[in-house]
Structure 1
């Protein structure tokens, strides 16, 4: 789950390496797994350091199977052992689960486990365009939990493409998505069941409206998804006036922007949903949509808990 606790772990891991990690780093640098390819790298950030190539650990969940077998150390974040890089990269795994950008993993691994090219004597940085694309897509997710884009990921420090760098998998000119790529990123609105209940609870009082509903159908209108409720929805929260509420209900539609995919709408549209959102340009825009996967008794208990909140 990508939540406040996970992001706190990120900050702590980046800023506070343990003594055990430092000792392990020293042992790793002298271990037999080091590739003979090595050089001394001088940089204003890390000074003069011995650069070596090491296998990407199979236990490094963030980058295992990324498409290359060896990483160069020290990496671009100053970690000088595979163990240290592995431990600190683990804190970023929850961000992958948010599917905020298709190149998130490529960008993070270019920093934590930069590819080792024998003909290049230093880690290859991500292109600035790759950093900016991932930042622009993922920063809203992080900001929702009160965290800024980390300074260690400052895009201005990376090359603009005029020199060797790691590009995004897709064209970084930020063209409009094609039919083949539309819907390939999961909407932030549609959290997995494992974290959806917590996000509904956290955002209930921040939302202009909250409904319990059933869904009759959905369709794509240009780049947006139009969701049509079935029958009468139960209003759990409405922060606007009665006239605005009536006008909104007369529309009989909720909207998901930007054509992203929503697992909650996959398969048969059976059972109950909880929807949170706000009015924008005369439309009811969804901010959270949860398909209830447990029994009716648990749903009623969850709704009672929401209604007890002091909004």
Structure 2
């Protein structure tokens, strides 16, 4: 029971890895990482009230752990701070957070996420400071809410230590909390037309459609997209039903006033991916269907055979 709960919550957890913040310089990080490359953990296998089947160890951060592979050091502690005991489990749960990095909602998002998923190898676990959690939460929670995801219980900031020398602080000051433009684009409209990005959204979405849009309206702070009656091409059916397709209406949550360049002109087909939240169909990603785009062609072709990861989606 505890194991299942941990898995589900961990998929909704997020936090750092850069001891780049805990150590004083990149030279110090490299030295510390080297020092612990062959560190033999002296602690027993009982931690935070949980009994582990394996002793904690230092392992290489694999290249396919995309969330943290370029975090600034090469080795991580396993089990991690989210109670993941195996690397497949870490990859599975961390994968659902990769799209959040692309949203650039806060400069320290990766730091926060990786501190839990891939903690640096030190003689004791180092948690993120509460202020780091609060800064990332305040900037990223609104983006997550756009997709119908609340800030997860696992990441309630009061669970983390008040700032001191034994926790990971913010790397960027409050003046650099975001890397996004001041006029924030609606998150579903702010995605590169790249095959990798398209496939990440495809796997994280319930459905994917090639379709035309008849009109766009504003409704209670959301942007409402009314589909044209013309035939729609279903790339992924997911939770959609036939009755949904007959009078298809989609929403960009909290998107009534944010810019979305794709919707400036409706005289074309769109690639729209999204998820069903209660009775609403929320748009996760929208692209104009550019026939000459090699990236789009590759992604659409890849959709037919690609086996998406089975992680529990917590974002996008």
User: Could you tell me the TM-score, scaled by structure 2's length?
Assistant: 0.50
Deviation of 1:134 (Å): 0.7
Residues 43, 297 of structure 1: CA spacing in aligned structure 2 closer, same or farther, 3 A cutoff?
closer
SS in 1 for 2:257: strand
Question: What is the CA-CA distance between 1:294 and the residue it aligns to?
Answer: 9.2
Cα displacement (A) at 1:193: 6.1
Contact kept in structure 1, 2:130 and 2:161, CA below 8 Å: yes
1:64 and 1:184 map into 2 onto residues whose CA distance is 29
Report the Cα distance in structure 2 between the residues aligned to 1:167 and 1:297, rounded to whole angstroms. 47
Q: Quick one: distance in 2 between partners of 1:70 and 1:161?
A: 25
Distance 1:277 1:45, change over 3 A: closer
Q: Are residue 191 (structure 1) and residue 190 (structure 2) matched?
A: yes
Report deviation, 1:188.
3.9
Q: What does the per-residue CA deviation read over 1:7-35, in whole Å, with 9 as the maximum and x for residues that have no partner?
A: xxx959839xxxxxxxxxxxxxxxxxx94
Give the one of 82, 86, 91 matched to 1:81. 86
What does residue 159 of structure 1 align with? 161
Q: Which blocks of at least 5 consecutive residues in structure 2 are unaligned?
A: 1-6, 13-36, 202-207, 227-251, 273-316
Is residue 72–residue 114 contact of structure 1 (8 Å, CA) maintained in 2?
A: yes
Whose Rg is larger?
1
Match of 2:104 in 1: 99
What's the RMSD between the two structures over aligned residues? 4.5
Instruction: Show the 5 A alignment for 1:227-306.
Output: 286-291=257-262, 296-298=267-269
3-state SS of paired residue (1:115): coil
Q: Give the count of matched residue pairs.
A: 199
Alignment of 1:1-20 (within 5 A): 11=8, 14=11
Alpha-carbon distance in structure 2 between the residues aligned to 1:209 and 1:99: 22
TM score, norm. by length of structure 1: 0.51
1:206 to 2:219 alignment? yes
CA drift of 1:289 comes to 1.4
* Corresponding position of 1:141: 143
1:105-152 alpha-carbon deviations (Å, 9 max, x no partner) = 1111111001112xxx22211111111111111111122233221122
Q: Secondary structure of 2:56's partner? A: strand
Deviation of 1:95 after TM superposition, in Å, equals 1.2
Equivalent position SS for 2:133: helix
1:69 partnered with 2:66: no
Higher relative contact order (CA 8 A, sep 6+): 2
Relative to 1, partners in 2 of residues 1:188 and 1:133: Cα closer, same or farther, differing over 3 Å?
A: farther
